[in-house]
Amino acid sequence: MNWHVYIILCSDDSLYTGTTNDMERRLRQHGNGRGAKYFRGRQPRHVVYLESGHSRSTAGRREAAIKSMTRADKCLLVLSDSNEIAAARESGMMVDTL
């Protein structure tokens, strides 16, 4: 199964990192307040980073690695070539709809 690692920019300008095997479902959950507890008191704005092609275990390890990064390093990651946001938009995946 194809797992994704993603970063969401939140209403308080924080960056939330997560994993999922169904990106559209997970974005709906976050937007409806039924996702992570992290979104209690803040709202997701939009997905700023997407990385696909992981197994469940590699996605979890990658999520942990990203969560341990500084905000500056996460911002560099968003600007990097490994960010699949443009490709996801072209394929029709809902990456900005929350």
The C-alpha atoms of residue 86 and residue 66 are separated, in whole angstroms, by 20
Segment 44-92, tens digit of pLDDT? 898 999 999 999 999 999 999 999 999 999 999 999 988 998 666 656 6
Alpha helices in 12-97 (DSSP H): 23-31, 56-67, 71-79, 85-91
The CATH number given to whatever domain includes residue 65 is 3.40.1440.10
Write out the residue range of the structural domain in which residue 45 sits: 3-91
Segment 20-56, tens digit of pLDDT? 999 888 888 887 777 787 888 888 898 999 999 999 9
Residue 43: predicted pLDDT: 86
Residue 98's pLDDT band (boundaries 50, 70, 90)?
very low
Residue 70: predicted pLDDT: 97
- Per the domain annotation, does 69 fall within a domain? yes
- Per the domain annotation, does 96 fall within a domain? no
- Per the domain annotation, does 33 fall within a domain? yes
- Per the domain annotation, does 97 fall within a domain? no
**Total domains in the fold of the chain:** 1
- Per the domain annotation, does 16 fall within a domain? yes
- Per the domain annotation, does 85 fall within a domain? yes
What is the reported pTM? Answer: 0.85
Residues 72/66, Cβ–Cβ less than 8 Å: no
